[in-house]
Every structure is written in C-alpha cells, then in structure tokens.
Amino acid sequence: MTDTLKEYCRQKVACIDHKLELLLPKQGQYPPVILEAMRYSVFAGGKRMRPVLLMAAADAVNGRGEEYTHVAAGLEMIHTYSLIHDDLPAMDDDDYRRGKPTNHKVYGEAMAILAGDALLTYAFEVMGRQPDVLSDVLLRVIAEIAAAVGPLGMVGGQAMDLFSEGKQIGLQEIEYLHKAKTGALFKASIRAGAMLAGAGEEQLQDLTQYSDYFGLAFQITDDILDVTGNQAELGKPVGSDSKNQKATYVSLYSVDKAKSIAGEAVDGALNTLKFFGPEADILRDLAKYLLSRNN
C-alpha cells in the first residue's frame, strides 16, 4: 500500500468511525444488550473498505467524498451485519473475526442474529437521513444498495455458497456466487459514491465496470489468503473454505492460476479508469493494493 493510499484510508476511516460513533445508539440505553452487541462488531476493527470505496468514487467525480457519510456509515453497518451472520454456527461457524471472538461467541446465537438484523435495518434508516442530496438521487442509491444485499445479491450469494458446500461446481457458478455474495455490495458502494457525487452517464458506466473487476480481484485474493495467509494477520481462521468444502478459485484452479486471474482483473480495473485523471488515483491504488494485501 502506497503512503498516499495509507493516509487517504486513515483519514476516511477516522471520518467513518466518527460518524458511526455518532449514529449508533449508545450503550446503556434500553435495551442494553442488543446495543452492546451491535457496537461490539461495528467497532471490532476492519478496513471500512466499502465506505472508503464510496468516498473514493465520489472524490473521482466531484472531490467531496466526505459529504456522504450517512450512506457510507450505512454500508459499514450492512457489511458488519453480514459478517455477524456469516460467522454463525449454521453458516461458516467461525470463532474469530478481526482478531476477536465472533459476536455469537460473546453474546450467544440469538443475540448475534438480532444484532445483525438490527444493523441491517438501522442502516437504511441512517442512509435515508443523508443530507444535501436530491431525494430522487438518494432514493435511487438506497434502492441499489437494497438490491445488492437482497435475494439476488449478497443473501442469494450466501445461499448459493451454502448450497454448494461439498459439491463440484464450475467456473460459471463460482463467478455468479462471488458476484452476488461479495461483488454486489462493492458495486453498490462504488456506484452510490458516483451517483451521490453527480456522475455523468459515461463516468458511471466506467466506474461500474471498475467495480466488477475490483470485486472479482478482491474475492480471488480472499480465496488465496484463506490458503496462504495466517490467522494473526487475517484476524480470522485460515482454511475455513477447505473445512467447509467451499468452491473457490483456488479449489477450481490453483494458487498460481488464481493469482494470475486476479492480476488480469486488476489490469481490467485500471483500464476502466483511463479517461479519469489524477482524481481517480486512489481508486487505482486500491485496485493495485489487492494483489499485495495480507488481510
């Protein structure tokens, strides 16, 4: 990660965390346990990749990414909900996330389910309060995010992931699974930033193509890290894909072939930004970073 990207992410993450602190109900309010469980997972760490992508896409259009913090915070709440549910015994059955015990290990399965439900629903309430955006634009953004996390997006991808455990599936099915489970929310985050910032149709089209390549590269490198990474850096157990007999790019091909496909996806992402100037350098650096990330 370049120094410029590190500083950009540091500033944006601080901005997002500040907004999350302001927006999330405080511990000690009634009912206390659910609020504590929500905040536990939201503030357990994380790169805030989806809200950072929203801000970077907006900055590539009008340079005012930090104006859209309600939507950015909502995206992080949605992502955190998905992690809480993903870790449940009925799903991936993981004990650690971001280096800490998973939500259900601390608060029990029932409260973890409710914490995830609460974050998902509260996210849309928060996004609906985004100021200084035309109502029709905000409605379009919220509708896209809802579609990205619904039955034809993230939830559908998770369902297919569970259905595919222990089965041999081909490249077409793996591509669909990852586009829905992981890629859909990345795409919605990037498109949301562009739309909020007033992107023209050509800009929006280019950033949409960028998001497709970015999501693919992210998922492939995630598959690779599950084989080659270590728990201390990842903050979660390695080898869970193999344990749960999940179909991945590594299981379908090999680590080396998966790395090659990830490199091609990053090249594709960079090519989509050829008509943008230095205002899109952060998006370029984020794509390149995927090939060297260790968590």
Q: How many CA atoms lie within 13 A of 284 on its CB side?
A: 15
Q: What is the pLDDT of residue 277?
A: 96
pLDDT band at 89 (very low <50, low <70, confident <90, very high): very high
Is the Cβ–Cβ distance between 262 and 290 less than 8 Å?
yes
User: Cα 232 to chain center, whole Å?
Assistant: 21
* pLDDT classification of 274: cutoffs 50, 70, 90: very high
CA 233 to chain centre: 18
Q: What is the structure's pLDDT at 97?
A: 92
Closest CA to 288 of 275, 278, 268: 268
Asked whether the beta carbons of 219 and 182 are under 8 A apart, the reply is yes
Report pLDDT digits (tens) over 169-205: 888 888 888 899 999 999 999 999 999 999 999 999 9
User: Shortest CA distance to 48 belongs to which of 188, 178, 189?
Assistant: 189
The answer for residues whose C-beta is within 8 angstroms of residue 248's C-beta and 6 or more apart is 174, 223, 226, 241, 258
Q: What is the mean pLDDT of the chain?
A: 92
Contacts for 6 with CB less than 8 Å, ≥ 6 apart = none
CA atoms of 248 and 226, how far apart (whole Å): 10
Half-sphere exposure of 108 (CA within 13 A, CB side): 5
The rounded distance, in Å, linking the Cα atoms of 46 and 20 is 13
Looking from the CA of 148 toward its CB, the CA atoms found within 13 Å total 28
Structure token pair of residue 95: 């004990």
Q: Quote the pLDDT of residue 163.
A: 85
> Residue 178's beta-bridge partner residues?
none
Give the mean pLDDT of 135-156: 97
**Nearby residues of 67 by Cβ (< 8 Å), 6 or more positions away:** 58, 132, 196
**What domains does the chain contain, in order, with CATH numbers?**
3-286 (1.10.600.10)
Sign of CA dihedral 267, 268, 273, 274: positive
Give, in degrees to the nearest 5, the angle at Cα 113 between 81 and 32.
Answer: 90
Q: Report the predicted TM-score, pTM, of the whole model to 2 decimal places.
A: 0.93
pLDDT at 236 over 60: no
- Banded model confidence at residue 100, pLDDT cuts 50, 70, 90: very high
Average pLDDT over residues 99-111: 96
* pLDDT tens sequence across 14-67: 999 999 999 999 877 777 899 999 999 999 998 999 999 999 999 999 989 999
Model confidence at 247: pLDDT above 80? no
